[in-house]
Structure 1
Amino acid sequence: MNPGDVKVMIVDDSNTIRRSAEIFLVQSGYQVVLAEDGFDALAKIADHRPHVIFCDIMMPRLDGYQTCALIKKNPRFRNTPVIMLSSKDGLFDRARGRMVGSDQYLTKPFTKDSLLQSVAAFTAQAT
């Protein structure tokens, strides 16, 4: 899959995290969709149909676990990779992420390389 054909959604209540992820991805040629929280993400997923979703765990209203579970329950988006983002690198958080269907776990602050490697790994599987 060509990076220009790949849409990546970043769901995080931190403007700084959203913007830095967007810069890394856009510089590498990816299309980026930003969402401020779980509700915003769920509203945008159907319109934008992202290929990969990065989802923060700690968000107001609808946390990352709930957001991921709702995405994975929808038959149209069940196979969309969801990568959990968290500042905590705990075993419990990783296990809980797996229970709701997340495909990977990335610890914040993430690097440009770790972000791009995650996208590349999941888009390579899709082709």
Structure 2
Amino acid sequence: MGEHLGRVLVVDDDEVIRQLIAVNLTLEGFEVETASDGQDCLDRVLDVRPDVVTLDVMMPRLDGWATAARLRGDEGTSGIKVVMITARAQDDDRRRGRGIGVDAYLTKPFDPAELIEVVRGLALPERTG
């Protein structure tokens, strides 16, 4: 068993993408939990206590923006790093994300290696450089 890299909560309503992200991060050595949408994420985040949350933007019930804003607005979850995974990373999306406090963006379809690099950089900031 290698070093513990951190825990990631993967949130996506598409099961295929959710599993793709989860498998890639698990193989890399992260502990991974999954949630099927923003509401599911908020229901479980305090139990899971992730270092990083990956959020799909387009989800039923509660989208990625609303979920990120809730995470940021609650002192119990405000320190969690947030990666938005979006089909369109337009400038206005990035501005909106900056306003909420999103830490990073990945555009679908994403390269799994890039995903791992981004999550690792957020989960282990002291070890990158």
TM exceeding 0.5: yes
Partner of 1:27: 27
TM-score, length basis structure 1: 0.92
Provide the C-alpha distance between the structure 2 equivalents of 1:90 and 1:14, rounded to a whole number of angstroms. Answer: 22
C-alpha deviations, 1:65-92, integer Å up to 9, x for none?
Answer: 0000000011121111101110112111
* Deviation of 1:117 (Å): 0.5
Unaligned runs of 5+ in 1: none
Provide the C-alpha distance between the structure 1 equivalents of 2:78 and 2:31, rounded to a whole number of angstroms. Answer: 21
Q: Is the 8 A contact 1:3 1:30 kept in 2?
A: no
* Deviation of 1:124 (Å): 2.0
Within-5 A mapping of 1:59-74: 59-74=59-74
Q: Does 1:101 align with 2:101?
A: yes
Q: Does 1:49 align with 2:49?
A: yes
Q: Is the 8 A contact 2:5 2:124 kept in 1?
A: no
Unaligned runs of 5+ in 2: none
* Deviation of 1:5 (Å): 4.7
TM-score, length basis structure 2: 0.91
- Paired-residue identity, %: 36
Provide the C-alpha distance between the structure 2 equivalents of 1:41 and 1:3, rounded to a whole number of angstroms. Answer: 26
Q: CA RMSD in A?
A: 1.5
Q: Give aligned pairs, total.
A: 126
Q: Is the 8 A contact 2:5 2:120 kept in 1?
A: no
Provide the C-alpha distance between the structure 2 equivalents of 1:119 and 1:64, rounded to a whole number of angstroms. Answer: 17
Partner of 2:122: 122
